[in-house]
Structure 1
Amino acid sequence: MFCEKCGKLLKNQGGSFICTSCGWVKGGQIGAKMQITDKRKEKEIVIVEDVNALRTLPTIAVKCPNCGNGEAFWWLRQLRSADESEVRFFRCTNSKCNHTWREYD
């Protein structure tokens, strides 16, 4: 949270948030406690399911490993840490196949 007066980062003290620069105080909720967790939550991988949304994706000439079709829709997702490359997803344009696969760098 940030100070509404000067914009600095607020510090938590005794359930309230205090600006160390200008002294502004934002009261916390009664009984509210901060929780520190060390577990990282993985985000779900969103795969496009709406056929109409697929038609707006770019296509590329690539062979489908499932049916052998020569064209697929593609999109990029950042699944790992920011210093690693994105993952390329492909979905076969053959409406009977619709196989989805990914490629890593």
Structure 2
Amino acid sequence: MEFCPTCGTLLQYEMTYMGRPSRFFCPTCPYVCYIEKNVKIKRKQRLVRKEIEPVISQDDMKNAPTAEVPCPKCNHDKAAYAEFQTRSADEPATIFYMCLNDSCRNQWRDG
């Protein structure tokens, strides 16, 4: 989206017509910006994917209560859990689990 530098109104686009190049124009003032045919990219910037932080850490699960829930990854029968209200109050809470098998430590959620 482009805005008029004079009055701040959203510029409208007009396609090439009868030899005239395409352009942006302001519907409220006389501002016109012609679009060049050969647009060059001045700078490319690589996007860096940020590391996703877990909702709950392993420190949060140290003193958490346990339940007999099978792990979907290793089928260990015990998991620590924490319950959080992640959506609106009229919807059920989300339960986060962490497998208590030392070699697995898989985390998943229910709800």
TM-score by length of 2: 0.49
Which blocks of at least 5 consecutive residues in structure 2 are unaligned? 1-52
1:77 to 80, 84, 91: 84
AA in 2 matched with 1:59: T
- Quote the offset at 1:96 in angstroms: 1.0
Percent identity over the alignment is: 39
CA separation of 1:81 and 1:45: change in aligned 2, threshold 3 A? farther
Which blocks of at least 5 consecutive residues in structure 1 are unaligned? 1-43
Q: Determine the C-alpha separation between the residues in 1 that align with 2:81 and 2:61.
A: 9
Asked whether the equivalents of residues 65 and 80 of structure 2 are also in contact (C-alpha less than 8 Å), the reply is yes
Report the structure number with the largest CA radius of gyration.
2
AA in 2 matched with 1:49: Q
The alignment covers a number of residue pairs equal to 59
Q: Determine the C-alpha separation between the residues in 2 that align with 1:90 and 1:49.
A: 11
User: Is 1:91 the counterpart of 2:92 in the alignment?
Assistant: no
- Quote the offset at 1:45 in angstroms: 6.4
User: Is 1:47 the counterpart of 2:52 in the alignment?
Assistant: no
Q: Determine the C-alpha separation between the residues in 2 that align with 1:55 and 1:78.
A: 20
Please give the secondary structure, in 1, of the residue aligned with 2:109: strand
TM-score by length of 1: 0.51
